[in-house]
Each structure stands twice: as C-alpha cells, then as structure tokens.
Chain A
Amino acid sequence: MNQVMEIDRLNLHYGDFHALKEINLGIPEKTVTAFIGPSGCGKSTFLRTLNRMNDLVPGVQIGGSVKLDGQDIYGADTDVEVLRKRVGMVFQQPNPFPKSIFDNVAYGPRLHGIRDKSRLNDIVERSLRGASLWEEVKDLLGKSALSLSGGQQQRLCIARALAVEPEVLLMDEATSALDPISTLKIEELVRELKKEYTIVMVTHNMHQAARVSDRTVFFLNGELVEAEETEKLFSNPTDARTEDYITGRFG
C-alpha cells in the first residue's frame, strides 16, 4: 500500500533526555494507525513530530527524517504552515476557540484566504457533516462553541481540522476526556473518516485500538517495539514485551 508518511531513524532529545530512539515506521494511506504504550513512552512526542508541533518546545533536538509524500518535512525548504495544513491535529482536551460554532470551523479557511461567504458556508457544512455534527448544530451555528458538550466540542475540533482539507489527521487521545457514548461516536467517525483521510491516533485504551485501527504500533521507553496489523498484534504479537503489555502484565 502507498505510504503517506515514512519515518526513518528518527531520534528526539528533550535536552539530555533521549525521548525517541531510532524510530522507523511507514504510515499507509487511508488507514487508521494506532499508537499504544504505557504513559511516558513517547507516543505524544512521536505524534507531534509528524506535524512539527515539537518545534515549539525549547531545547528539543530532532534527528533522522520524516517524509510526507516523499518530502522530508524537516528539510530546509519545508513550509511549516503548509505542512500543518496538510497534517491536521486533534488534541486530548477539546479546544474550540471561544467563538461561534461557525467561526470555529471557518477559522482555518478564512486565515488561509477564503473570504467568499457562500464558499465558507459550503466548507462549514461539509466539515461539520464530515465530523457527524451537522445535524446537531445546523440551527445553532451562531452560538458559542463553548456551549456544546465535551463530545460535541471534540467533533467540532475535528470539523475545524477537516475544514483546511488535511491529508493526514493526528489525534492524541482524542476521546480520553469524553464519556463512553461520545467516545463511541468518535470511534465511528474515525472509521468513516479513513475513507478519505489517513489517521494516526494515540490511545491509552487497547480496546479502542483494536476496535478502530488497521495497524497498531507499540512503544516502550522511547523505542518502537512492534508495528503490525492490528489483528495480528493483538492475537499473535512477535515481541515478548508487546505480549506482556497487551495481556496487562505492566503499564
């Protein structure tokens, strides 16, 4: 299958701390890849190298290469803003802007230069439909995003990310702050979204990884231990450490 992103010998240091060690991984197009592993093993750190959100951290050093469609995103000619447009992100805590629902979704497109009202309307509707939120909010577009429930806010954040038409969507424990029903909704949504987008998600919940992902990657202490088809990894892991983790012997 076509690899959208290819990570080659990636190393990351926070100051003296070696947080990611020699990571090699391919992320196939239009699939869901899940990252699992105990707390502090580097899942978020790795996810954030994929759209260069770690650039913000003072004292971070990154070696190796991360390619998006064959181009090194850490290369000198990479435009970080264009990269982040192509690789969108949804965070653990829903973080809508304190603005109206409409303005939240229209935010990215507007700042990327789309002014035309009817085009914005189209984008907002399409993105909200894409995030399975349209039916619930179509009559409240002018209301504050903060008036929505947590689960709705998270889907709004997904819609906001979709509105700038990314190719890859990164989700860092996007359901961990939500109730079970909202979580199921988002899982359903992820299965729907992979028809058009490549999705990489961090999850603390192995059942969630098993339910929604095509491939699962297990991290431990900054190392990539195993990357496999989800079914294979959960039924018949190659590495003993993976087996220990998924059977609940640690972490």
Chain B
Amino acid sequence: MRMSNKTADRIATAVFYFFAFLIIAVLASLIGFILYRGLGQISWHFLTSPPETFKTGGGIGPQLFNSLFLLVLTMIITVPLGIGAGIYMAEYSRPGRFTDFIRLVVEVLSSFPSIVVGLFGLLVFVQYFDLKFSLLAGALALTVFNLPLMVRITEQGIRGVPREQKEAGLALGLTRWHTITKVLLPVSLPTILTGTILAAGRVFGEAAALLFTAGMSSPRLDFTDWNPLSPVSPLNPLRPAETLAVHIWKINSEGVAPDAAQIAAGASAVLILTVLLFNLGSRWLGRFLYRKLTASR
C-alpha cells in the first residue's frame, strides 16, 4: 500500500527537523566545549602578553596581532583581485573555452587542500621569490586559497542582480562601466560583503597553509615601533609571523610550558569567538548596508 501524501509529508518534515536539530546540537556542543575549556583562561593579560616557553603565565598577544594583520594584508590583496575577476566572469566573459577554463581553474584552486597550498607557497613565495618566512609570503599563500572564493562570491552576487535592474541602467544611457559600478555593484554589495567577511573568517582560522609560509615563530616585537621597515616593528610585512591558529597547533604538538594545555584551550576559545564575531558581524553589516543602500527603513 502506498503511503498517503500527507503521511509522507509528515515523515519528511520530521526527518528534516531531526537533521537540523542534530546539526545544531553537534555545533552547539562543539562550541560549548571549546568555550567551556577556554573562556576561563581569557584575560587582558592573556590577550596582550607574549607567550612563555618554559614558564606558566604566557599569553597570545603577538599571535593575535599577527592573525589580524595577516588577515588585513590578505584582504588587501584578495578583495580587489577577487572583485575584479568576479566582475569579469559575470559581465565580460563570453561563454566559451576560455571562460570554461578560468572556471575550471577557480574550481580546482578552491578545492586544493590547504597544506598543498602551503607547500606551494613554500616553493614559490618563500624560496623562489625569496620572501623567506614572512607575513607577505603567508598573505600570498592565503590569497591562492581565498581568491577563488572571492571570485565566486562576486560573480554570484552580480549575477544575482535581477536582469531588470541592469537593463534599467542601460536604458538610461549608462555606459557599461557605470552600469557595473553604479547599479550592479551597489545592489550586490551586501551579498559581496557578507561573503567577504565569511571568507575572512576562514582565512583567520587557517593554519596549514601558513606553517611553511608565514612561519612558526615570531621575532620579538616592539609595539611602540610602527615603522613598517624596521625588523622589530609589528607592521613589517617581511618578518615571520606565527598566527593564532598555528600557535595552537604548535603548543599542542610541542609545547613545553607547564600550562600549555590551558593556553591552547584559551587560544582556541579566542579563535572561535573571533570567527563567530566575523559571522555575526557579516550578517549585521549586510542587513545594515542593504537598508542603507535601499533607503528602506
């Protein structure tokens, strides 16, 4: 006997609810566990002091700064490139072999394991271009890993703009360039921005691609020296920089400080909180911008 449609519908609904709750439960317990173990470690001292190798009471100050600074560097490189390429893909590329090829490259790049991207960065940026273990090499490796995502986000954002909007612009006598910059980009900006911040969260938590590019050590930093050319300046892009995610990996595998486990737990909590902040921030900003740009209050 066949099930009645109604029964089937009820079962399907229940199953979907079950999976949704399962996912939420797993996620919540994961985050809860990390926060439970780590929140107690977080203090101003922890967030601002340098780590200790053999003693207790070390912090994650330089690593936190490195992560943020590396993120900024990466975004400075990726965002213009990604948006430019995304605009090309959405608006200028003609269907054909060349476009298919670009799309294939983007797909392949985005599915590369990040450890492979790290090795590529080691061979190309660190060794061939002789950037040594440096923030710049790290940022370039992260670019390889982040660019495909940015291209896709932009392309989808722009393609998501209704055709009517685009035609409205063109019919007013706007040039193609103006149509892109004054109609398509503003309308898709909330989407692009949300995607960008989500991508930023991913970059922020990345470790494998950075092991052999940005390096696993941080020189003594002098936070009063803001000259980017000075070797002890935190802003020097050519210095090695261990990020938070790499630091967690390192102390977990070879930390000898007596409180290594606690430090790792605290650092993980900071990492998770920051990524959550990115996610929530992106939603908030996307909605805010949408309202602002569309004057719908």
Give residues in A with beta carbon < 8 Å to B. Answer: 51, 53, 56, 58, 81-85, 88-89, 91, 93, 95-100, 103, 107-108, 111-112, 142-147, 157, 160-161, 164
Please state if A82 and B173 are interface contacts (CB–CB under 8 Å): yes
Partner of B173, one of A81, A98, A142, A145: A81
Task: Flag B280-297 by CB within 8 Å of A: 1 or 0 each.
Answer: 000000000000011111
Point out the residues of chain A lying under 8 angstroms from B295, CB to CB. 98-100, 103, 142-145
| Subset of 13 A-B contacts with CB under 8 Å | A84-B170, A85-B173, A91-B168, A95-B165, A97-B165, A98-B187, A107-B182, A108-B173, A108-B174, A111-B172, A111-B174, A144-B294, A147-B296
Cα–Cα distance between A100 and B295 once the two chains are bound (Å) = 5
Q: Any chain A CB within 8 A of the CB of B220?
A: no
User: Taking the nearest CB of chain A, how far is it from the CB of B296, in angstroms?
Assistant: 4
Task: Flag B88-99 by CB within 8 Å of A: 1 or 0 each.
Answer: 000000110000
Task: Flag B152-178 by CB within 8 Å of A: 1 or 0 each.
Answer: 000000000010110110111111001
A53-B167, A95-B168, A108-B172 known; A146+B162 contact, CB < 8 A: no
Give residues in B with beta carbon < 8 Å to A. Answer: 94-95, 162, 164-165, 167-168, 170-175, 178, 182-183, 187, 293-297
Please state if B171 and A84 are interface contacts (CB–CB under 8 Å): yes
Point out the residues of chain B lying under 8 angstroms from A96, CB to CB. 168
Cα–Cα distance between A91 and B164 once the two chains are bound (Å) = 8
Q: What is the chain A residue whose CB lies nearest that of B291?
A: A144
Number of residue pairs across A and B with beta carbons under 8 Å?
76
Point out the residues of chain B lying under 8 angstroms from A161, CB to CB. 171-172
Cα–Cα distance between A83 and B175 once the two chains are bound (Å) = 11
Please state if B94 and A146 are interface contacts (CB–CB under 8 Å): no
Point out the residues of chain A lying under 8 angstroms from B164, CB to CB. 91, 93, 95
User: Taking the nearest CB of chain B, how far is it from the CB of A223, in angstroms?
Assistant: 26
Please state if A89 and B296 are interface contacts (CB–CB under 8 Å): no
Please state if A91 and B167 are interface contacts (CB–CB under 8 Å): yes
Please state if B174 and A98 are interface contacts (CB–CB under 8 Å): no
Cα–Cα distance between A100 and B183 once the two chains are bound (Å) = 14
Please state if A146 and B172 are interface contacts (CB–CB under 8 Å): no
A93-B164, A97-B183, A97-B187 known; A112+B296 contact, CB < 8 A: no
Partner of A56, one of B165, B170, B174: B170
